[in-house]
Structure 1
Amino acid sequence: MGRLEGKVFIVGLGLIGGSIALAIKKAHPEAMIIGYDVNERQLGLARSLKVIDEAARSPEDGYGQADLIVLAVPVMQTEALLSSMPLERLKRGVIVTDVGSTKQRIVQGARRLLDHGVAFIGGHPMAGSHKSGVAAARAHLFENAFYILTPTDDVPPQQVEALKQWLAGTKAQFVILTPKEHDRITGVISHFPHLIAASLVHQAREYECENALVSRLAAGGFRDITRIASSNPEMWRDIFIHNKHELLALFDRWIAEMERLRSFVEEENSIAIYHYFLEAKQFRDGLPSRTKGAIPSFYDLYVDVPDYPGVISEVTGYLAEENISITNIRIIETREEIYGVLRLSFQSEDDRARAKACLAKHTNYATYEG
């Protein structure tokens, strides 16, 4: 695919919008990237970091110039922007897309664009980070990730190909789904798991009223398996409202599944319980481990370190010397005169591999992946 020229207008300059801007600029250096964000600080930062070439004063200021419009804002805001977009000011042949993790209501909200002959193609890059904001934006954020596109029958195939060409710099794997297929799949693998994680945390919080040891004992594995419950509450509120119908169906199936499992336990059906866990293990062990999915991966490296002053700065110092960035660090266990465990989190599989090699070169500390 060749390089494209033209103007790209990105509304919303957070991690996703900023990373898309960088990926487009990398593949199409002659294109002009215009950006807008309600947060003036983010907008200014995007300009100073050269994530965008030019800042728009308002969405309306950028719409009319653009050959491609990317709405990189939360789903509720996307709906509002679609309903207020001035169709008469849009360029002929413009493509409009979004990045939201729900699609049916978004595509329905874009009906006025489609009826006006404007190509709206729903999009969802299934990659992210545990960082946020335009300062965390990276051109390679979506590399090897699945990028879902949900064009309707109204959109000519050549427009879908044109969008793929604009987004070629993401190096993502494009998958075409219907809006309903998308919402059902993401409901199962992303939306509902967030709900389960939050409900487990609520259960622990309620038990803590009976015994204060709950939160102390939950600091290890429980904290790890419920990590996603720390996600943005405003974003998840909007997603749950948007994907209401798919989630209600999942609630019904989940309740039936829990009733079935409850009966196994109540009847002490050891064979059924064993096979329940065995089948879950077999399916999970067969899932791709190095492919980006709907929930951002945690690239963790556990390091056994002796307990002496300065050991943490020693480990991080070696990594800093090789410009390996850590996204999070946590002391899982350390007791006097025995080895403790550091959990280092990285933004990518490559960073974790480099860190492992770095520590093997400089220390004799045992390392293992999470």
Structure 2
Amino acid sequence: MKQNVLIIGLGLIGASLAIAIKKEHPAVHLIGWDYFEETRIIAKNQQIVDEIPTTFEEGAVKADILLLAVPIKTSLTYLQELAALPLKPTALVTDAGSTKQEIMVLAEQLPFDFIGGHPMAGSHKSGVSAANGDLFENAYYIFTVPQNEQVAKRVTELQVLFQGARAKYVMLTAEEHDQITGMLSHLPHIIASGLVNQADVFNQLHPRAKQLAAGGFRDITRIASADPQMWTDILLSNREALLALMDTWQTQMTEISDWLKTEDQTKIFQFFENAKDTRDNLPVHSNGAIPAFYDLMVDVPDRPGVIAEITSILGQADISVINIKILETREDIIGVLQLTFKNQGDLLAGKQCIEEKTDYPCRLK
């Protein structure tokens, strides 16, 4: 019997998972639903899904597996709606949310089987048009299972369904998940956004600062360019973990402030030395809590046609570039072209092609 899979939310994550599912399981019948009609139409026209039901309820009752690929608070609302519908007795529901404790507590009260999920991948682009079946390759896909052993055993059904994503499966408790992602993803987003907001106020007094921010500052705060609604939901649903982490962060900032006041050179040096050692030992271009950015820096001469030359080389090699930026803070005649690729394979292949066909120095960021 053909398996019906309903994907609720056809943005970047939902649509990308749909492509990955179809690639490995072409016989699966993919039903898609999204709040926005335009998104539903695009998903159907681009054959990302096989069917768009007339109503959400129609799609839900015929589905064997249901995936919620929507913000956390929206998932909680959908789960309440699903609880009132006559789903198939064997229906299995999962989600793709960034926090797990709140949703797993609700799941224990629901009349259907639920397993929490979190594919830890993303992109600076969003929406159904940015869908990419390779988005999750080598990324971590975390599952949080309920205490019910019979339901927990069904995680293998999801692992088989998502085989086409080529992700690395990890099992965590909901508490472990939220603590880890709080430290490695949620807190950094708060800090990056705080820096951007502080710089915005600073720019009112020093207008030239905005121009200079086009270089390193823009890069270290790039994760602040995220969906505000999604991050509002994440913070509120991981409130306790984040409050504790922010207290620790504020304590550390107070310590640094004290070292500056007392001109404690030893403490300041140790702070940066420890950070450098830790940072240098982190995995390079491994997908983790924050989506990896596959950037290649190319030193190019300041002359007409250089960008066209580089893009032509990559185009002939059938390598896609998802973003191009010219860094504006260099003071010499050599410019820096920043090329962003969609995955590590394209990054390394692009670097090799440019180095083989030009004498422009290339380096991974």
- TM tier, shorter chain? over 0.9
- Would you say 1:255 and 2:250 are equivalent positions? yes
% identical equivalent positions: 46
Deviations 1:1-42 (A, max 9, x none): xxx941101011111111111222222221111111122222
Shift of 1:213: 2.1
Q: Deviations over 1:299-333 (max 9, x none)?
A: 11111111122221221122122221111111114
| Partner in structure 2 of residue 209 of structure 1 | 204
Pairing of 1:21-36 with structure 2 (within 5 A): 21-36=18-33
Q: Per the alignment, do residues 336 and 148 of structure 1 end up closer, same or farther by CA in structure 2, a change over 3 Å counting?
A: closer
Report the residue type matching 2:180 in the other structure: I
Shift of 1:159: 0.9
Trace 1:71-220 onto structure 2 (pairs within 5 A): 71-113=68-110, 116=111, 118-156=112-150, 157-220=152-215
What secondary structure sits across from 1:55 in the alignment? coil
Amino acid at match of 2:106: G
Distance in 2 of aligned mates of 1:334 and 1:295: 26
**2:301–2:335 contact (8 Å) kept in structure 1:** yes
**Cα distance in 1 between the residues matched to 2:10 and 2:216:** 35
The equivalent residue for 2:218 is 223
Deviations 1:220-252 (CA, angstroms, capped at 9, x unpaired): 111111111111112111111111111111111
Q: 1:189 to 1:12 in 2, by over 3 A?
A: same
Measure how far apart 1:87 and its partner are: 4.5
Aligned-pair CA distance for 1:198? 0.8
Aligned amino acid, residue 144 of structure 1: N
Report the 3-state secondary structure (helix = DSSP H, G, I; strand = E; otherwise coil) of the residue aligned with 1:123: strand
Aligned match of 2:38 in 37, 41, 51? 41
Write the distance in 1 (CA, Å) between the matches of 2:271 and 2:105.
40
Q: Is the 8 A contact 2:139 2:286 kept in 1?
A: yes
Letter in structure 2 aligned against 1:363: T
For residue 365 of structure 1, what is the aligned residue in structure 2? 360
2:284 alignment partner, SS class: coil
Q: 1: CA distance between counterparts of 2:239 and 2:40? A: 33
Aligned residues: 364
Q: Deviations over 1:161-180 (max 9, x none)?
A: 22212222222111111111
CA RMSD of aligned residues (A): 1.8
- Cα distance in 2 for residues equivalent to 1:33 and 1:283: 44
Contact residue 307 and residue 334 of structure 1 kept, 8 A:
no
Distance 2:302 2:254 in 1: 47
Structure 1 residue 336, shift from structure 2 partner: 9.9
Q: Which moved more, 1:169-178 or 1:119-128?
A: 169-178
1-structure distance, mates of 2:196, 2:329: 25
8 Å Cα contact 1:33/1:53 also seen in 2: yes
User: Is this contact kept in 1: 2:141–2:170, CA < 8 A?
Assistant: yes
> Whole-Å Cα distance in 1 between the matches of residues 53 and 317 of structure 2?
38
Structure 2 residue aligned with 1:353: 348
1:211 deviates by 1.7
Report SS of the residue matched to 1:289: coil
After TM superposition, the structure 1 = structure 2 runs for residues 291-302 of structure 1, keeping only pairs within 5 Å, are 291-302=286-297
CA distance in 1 between partners of 2:124 and 2:306 (Å): 26
CA contact (8 A) 1:300 1:344 kept: yes
Point out where structure 2 has 5 or more consecutive residues left out of the alignment: none
Query: 2: distance between equivalents of 1:140 and 1:341?
Result: 28
The alignment's TM-score, normalised by the length of structure 2, stands at 0.95
Tell me the residue number matched to 2:324. 329
Deviates more, 1:239-248 or 1:332-341: 332-341
Q: Provide the rounded CA distance (Å) in 2 between the counterparts of 1:61 and 1:304.
A: 55
The 5-angstrom pairing of residues 212-291 of structure 1 reads: 212-291=207-286
Gap runs ≥5 in structure 1: none
- Aligned mates of 1:331, 1:91 — CA distance in 2: 54
Match of 2:300 among 280, 305, 309: 305
Q: Answer yes or no: is the 8 Å Cα contact 1:307–1:336 preserved in 2.
A: no
Kept in 1, the 8 Å contact 2:235–2:242? The answer is yes
Cα distance in structure 1, aligned partners of 2:84 and 2:154: 18
